Amino acid sequence: MKIAFIVSKFPTLSEIFILNQITGLLDLGHDIEIFALRNSKEEKMHPDVKKYGLMERVYYLNEMIPQNKILRVFKAIYLISRNFYKSPLKILRSLNVFKYRKKALSLWLLYLIIPFLNKDFDIIHCHFGHIGNIGVYLKRLGFEGKFVTMFHGYGIRLGIEKGGGIYQQLFEFGDCFLAISDYNYENLVRFGLNPRKIIFHPVGIDINKFPFRWQSIPVERSSTVIIITIARLVEAKGIQYGIQAISKLLKEYPTLHLEYRIIGGGRFKERLRKIVEELGLGGVVRFLGPLGQEEVIREIQKAHVFLLPSVAEALPLVLMEAQAVGLPIVATNVGSTSQVIIDGESGFLVPERDVDSLAEKIKYLIERPEIWPGLGRAGRKYVEENYDIEKLNNRLVEIYERLIGENE
């Protein structure tokens, strides 16, 4: 199949679930092109981006559009003259200001369609709800292929905040919607999406990249306990509550040797640093910044407990990764974390923003290192059975094939 992926930014370390799909489909022999609004321009890049030559498959949609309005018009005239023969009707439709108003008047639609002209895709797969709206415009302008939108946590939160009506046209024109969790499914239906258009399809991880620690790595009772969090430093991840839980724990056990490592970057970094300073945890909490996957795996291997104190989640990949390695988990029961964690078997779920419960469960695990291997084995088995990306990508191909077969 020929498949187009439309994403907000590429490449980015925080959206490895998209990369896992793209590389998996390439391994299965499908032809992939990537259309991103912008280049994330991160300092670090996942090695698979280079391995699969993905930068040669990417078109940056927003970078084509000059900010200067005069230059934008002159470039548009040039693009029309060079591309009009490819699809006159689509180009003329993109300029219809009566139908598309600002999107046409600003020439945004014209610049959007240029990279898609003379390309026939079987599937156009949009990641995130707001990106799905780009697929709507392509379909309305006459591009063929089945339009698939995969909803993640951000799109659901946006719908809750602004109302499901923001997706009205997307729900009407989209052919298929992938819900990564029960939480997403329920909200999509509540937003007004026809359940017949929804297919449950979670994100997953490459199990083989996460060696199970209990096969070879002993954990000494006397060693410094390392607690790790991997998350974007944004309000939804609730990291301030994790820091407060660590503070509470150390006040109760001042002689405890503990280190809290936080991996990730984001706009809340300075605010979190200030909280650490106010609580006197400068020698305990370490901000490691964004790391590549190989570095992340090494850090997970060195840790003893994984903490995710989020106040909002969809289906967090980091919980899959930590369990694949065999770490016991303490996480908040938000979104669909209960679909990833087996409470009491591979870790513990606590209420959001509940610092006391977070501290209590971390303390429980620290005092009982003998139960870590059992929790780790349960977590590894659960991830292997439910979130193996190889199995999920094969299932995704079946979904695509069924959609294409509807026209035959």
The total domain count for the chain is 2
pLDDT band at 153 (very low <50, low <70, confident <90, very high): confident
pLDDT at position 101, please? Answer: 94
What's the whole-number mean pLDDT along residues 338-355?
95
What's the whole-number mean pLDDT along residues 29-55?
91
Using the Cα atoms of residue 23, residue 29, residue 30 and residue 35 in order, give the sign of their dihedral.
positive
Q: Phi first, then psi: what are they for 198, rounded to 5°?
A: -100, 135
- CA distance to 18, 181, 182, per residue, from 13 (Å): 10, 22, 25
* The residue type at 226: I
pLDDT at position 42, please? Answer: 81
Range of the domain at 236: 207-386
What CATH number does residue 153 fall under?
3.40.50.2000
Percent of all residues in the chain with a pLDDT value above 70, rounded to a whole number? 98
Checking if the pLDDT of 216 tops 80, the result is no
Q: Are residues 272 and 153 in the same domain?
A: no
The answer to pTM > 0.85 is yes
Is-contact 99 76, C-beta < 8 A? no
**CB < 8 Å & 24+ apart, contacts of 193-197:** 193/164, 193/167, 197/171
pLDDT at position 408, please? Answer: 56
Residue 49 CA to residue 29 CA, distance in Å, equals 17
Q: Are residues 156 and 217 in the same domain?
A: no
Q: Are residues 63 and 27 in the same domain?
A: yes
pLDDT band at 223 (very low <50, low <70, confident <90, very high): confident
Q: Whole-number mean pLDDT of the chain?
A: 92
Q: Are residues 44 and 17 in the same domain?
A: yes
Q: Which residue has the higher pLDDT, 164 or 13?
A: 164
Query: For residues 46, 294, 232 and 262, what is the CA-based torsion angle, rounded to 10 degrees?
Result: -160
Q: Are residues 213 and 152 in the same domain?
A: no
Q: Are residues 183 and 286 in the same domain?
A: no
Checking if the pLDDT of 174 tops 80, the result is yes
Is-contact 128 156, C-beta < 8 A? no
> Beta-carbon neighbour count of residue 67 at 10 Å?
6
In terms of Cα–Cα distance, which of 129, 137, 43 is closest to 90? 137
